[in-house]
Amino acid sequence: MRPHIVYILSDEHSGMAMSHAGDPNVSTPNMDRMANQGVSFTNSYANCPICTPSRGMIFSGRYAHSGPVQYFFDVYKATAPSTATILRDAGYHTAYFGKWHCGVVQDQLPQTVRNDRENYTRWPHRTPEYHRAGFQDWHGFEINNAPFKGFYYHQDETDPRWLEKYQTDALTDMTLSYLESYEQEEPLFLVLSIEPPHFPLEAPEDFMRFNPNSLQIRPNFADSPQMREQLATYYAMIENLDWNIGRVLDRLNRLPKFQNNTLTVYFSDHGDFMGSHGAINRKEYPHQESVRIPTIFHFPTQLPAQPNRNDLFSLVDLLPTTLGLIDVTQPTYLQGTDFSPAVRNEDFTGPSSILLEMCGNPRWSLDFLDWRALVTSEWKYAYFETGHELLFDLSTDPYEQNNLASSEPKQKQYLRQELLKALSHTREPYFDVLMENGTSIEGPVKDVSGAKRGGLAPIWDDQSILS
């Protein structure tokens, strides 16, 4: 039987903010354990550093601009193949816990929630079945943005259930209970998607140990008492997350069904500025704090320890690498690279650059500029829709304090041409994937709103219209 797979996905965890990554403030013994026993990519990037398109990329293996989720508040297309559908075809059972953020549909707002909005967060939408990317067991929510007042939707229920603890603790509790009771014959693919350390910055009191005035700050940190206080809470949220990761690892190691037979991967959908460049709780620009993320593969019985691999890895590579590690055939439409030889410490030559982007932002919601960028081991170049350009020599300026776009015209032109080449290779439309590789929709879909008008997507009581 193939191994079980557990993804632990956090939100907004910068790859610098771990003790094994060199952060002098935070203590992350369980992330460090994963790195020391497994494979940690120290140059791992989020290709699109904002939640929705990044999550679409994670589960589709395609860039945001040419994938099933192309902008903020987009939805995972109903028949788009995904990690879940591919693994189901390979004999896996699939389960999802936590934040999804790829299925906000206007009219999927239950009437009980409409009548009692004060007791819910701003985003109590129910993810329609056909936007869940094929996951079978569902304990998910779109957005909570409320670490201490969260909720989730269970399977096909139309009313949310409360998370009665701090969100990270509660979701981990649910995951552990699920693992304890798992009796399926099929191997399990489970995603634990934790919203913290995403804002709002709140952590359990037991983890609020940081003195803001004692924090060692980065050279590009915009120092102020408020920034220090927020950074202290951010670190507390990460340490709580680390504690919960330890709970998952320990439980997997104790359960006979999962012991020595589980690939665990920890990563984040993007980073956070962490007070650098004058911002915190921000991530939508191509600076290192925003685009660098943790990525750790942990399978001690099968993978040799490589705590500091410096390959240029990115989220578009996650799906092909996962499939490579379990010997599942790679779909031809994937746009990432299979890093499984590198993870196994075999001969491997990876890409020399990574395509970064911010695309399709709805200006009615978030006034972010679109941009495209290319990063290598030494350089980063970014072109904004306004025509502004960034060029940083990461080897001499790792904190990106000196924009060389005007003073290094030859290097800028070279990277500009390389970026254009990368874009030309990834401009395929997406409906060819749906039509040639698409899956059957998950349904029927319940209209929970009672609305008589059309929403952002059609809702059918059954699938007869599609037959």
Within the chain, which residues score under 70 in pLDDT?
A: 361-366, 428, 443-447, 449-467
pLDDT of 450 reads 63
Q: What domains are defined for the chain?
A: 4-347 (3.40.720.10)
Is the distance from CB of 333 to CB of 62 less than 8 angstroms?
yes
pLDDT digits (tens, 9 = 90+) for 39-80: 999 999 999 999 999 999 999 999 999 999 988 888 999 999
Question: What is the reported pLDDT for 464?
Answer: 45
What pLDDT is attached to residue 456? 42
**pLDDT tens, position by position, 84-134:** 999 999 999 999 999 999 998 877 888 888 888 777 777 889 999 999 999
Question: What is the tens place of the pLDDT at every residue in 322-368?
Answer: 999 999 999 999 999 999 999 999 999 999 999 999 987 666 666 77
Question: What is the model's pLDDT at position 466?
Answer: 41
